[in-house]
């Protein structure tokens, strides 16, 4: 199976997917750590894909999304963004709205705590 097909299958089969360096329990870069930390703190169930484990997937995800950096977050099959976009969306409440409209379960109180801590 090609890397592109593997990526497409993963994105299609999971409500929330984070392509990252490392894993959700052991991120291996600061940007991946930030996004995984937000998702973990908000109690979002998501599939983590360690791009460091497979060079074809590491390059393939950049081609798949036409986005040059990692991490990359997908919700319900749609590319949402990387670290800066997810951070902005978290602080503005847009990520909450996306999760709500997509039917993704998350801890609203935790999301509020993130915003309070960064106000």
pLDDT bucket at 66, cuts 50 / 70 / 90: very high
For the record, the structure tokens of 91 come out as 């602080």
Taking the domains of the chain in order of start, what are their residue ranges? 3-117
CATH architecture of structural domain 3-117: 3-Layer(aba) Sandwich (3.40)
CA–CA distance, 24 with 39 (Å, rounded to integer): 9
For the record, the structure tokens of 9 come out as 């299958």
pTM greater than 0.75:
yes
pLDDT beyond 90 at 73: yes
Q: Is 83 known as a binding-site position?
A: no
Task: Please state the rounded mean pLDDT for residues 49-63.
Answer: 96
For the record, the structure tokens of 71 come out as 């991490």
CA–CA distance, 98 with 101 (Å, rounded to integer): 5
């Amino acid at each position: 199976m090609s890397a592109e097909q593997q990526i497409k299958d993963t994105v299609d089969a999971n409500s929330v997917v984070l392509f990252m360096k490392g894993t959700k329990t052991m991120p291996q870069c600061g940007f991946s750590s930030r996004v995984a930390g937000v998702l973990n703190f908000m109690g979002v169930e998501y599939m983590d894909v360690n791009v460091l484990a497979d060079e074809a997937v590491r390059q393939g995800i950049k081609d798949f999304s036409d986005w040059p950096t990692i991490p990359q977050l997908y919700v319900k099959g749609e590319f949402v963004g990387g670290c800066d976009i997810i951070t902005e969306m978290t602080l503005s409440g847009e990520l909450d709205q996306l999760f709500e409209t997509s039917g993704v379960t998350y801890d609203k109180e935790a999301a509020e705590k993130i915003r309070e801590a960064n106000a």
